[in-house]
Amino acid sequence: MKFMLLTRAADYAVRVMIQMAKLPEGQRTSLPELAANTNAPQSFLSKVLQTLTKAGLVRSWRGNEGGFEILAPGRNATLRTVVEAVDGPLFLNVCLTSGDSCELERHCPAHEVWVRAQSAVMNILDEVSVAQMALGHQQTHGAKLQQISELPPRQQNG
């Protein structure tokens, strides 16, 4: 068994948000289309989209003319925002769940390393927005990589 930080639902959420962000503002898309484009089972993706809608990142319409549209907060959302909208706050280790403190911190020299690792991941996930990722897709692969690596480095806490 492989342990991962992200659930499948969060992974699909990121992919589906990027798909929707590739469309011009105001353009809706359907569940079957999104499912086909993200390689996701429709029933599962439907629940993911419901969560993203509740989080205010996506708008949904019912009926034949219905579908889904990404909203401005969705385009501006960082990778971290999308993932946490589905999975809730992400933690590398249980010792981080109460902020930077831990009941055992004074006894555990590993805690500070976990704080640094957590901070490093979150900084990277905070750097890129859905809109940037959607844009990156339309460029050549090389240009996309360059664009991302040129983002200003963030100060790491601690």
Structure tokens at 32: 């079957």
Q: Rounded to 5 degrees, what angle do the CA atoms 67, 73, 77 make?
A: 105
Q: Which is nearer to a copy of itself, 49 or 122 (CB)?
A: 122
Residues of this chain that bind a copy of itself (CB under 8 A): 1-8, 11, 14-15, 18, 37, 39, 79, 87-95, 97, 104, 106-110, 112-113, 116-117, 120-121, 124-125, 127-128, 133-134, 136-137, 141, 144-145, 148
Q: In the bound complex, what is the minimum distance in angstroms from residue 31's beta carbon to a copy of itself?
A: 18
> Among residues 3 and 62, whose Cβ is nearest to a copy of itself?
3
Q: Which is nearer to a copy of itself, 18 or 45 (CB)?
A: 18
Shortest distance, position 65 Cβ to a copy of itself, whole Å: 27
Give the integer Cα–Cα distance in Å for 3 and 9: 15
* Residue 42 · residue 35 · CB < 8 Å: yes
Q: How far apart are CA 104 and CA 98, in angstroms?
A: 11
The distance of closest approach from Cβ of residue 152 to a copy of itself in the complex, given in angstroms and rounded to an integer, is 14
CB distance 123 to 156 below 8 Å: yes
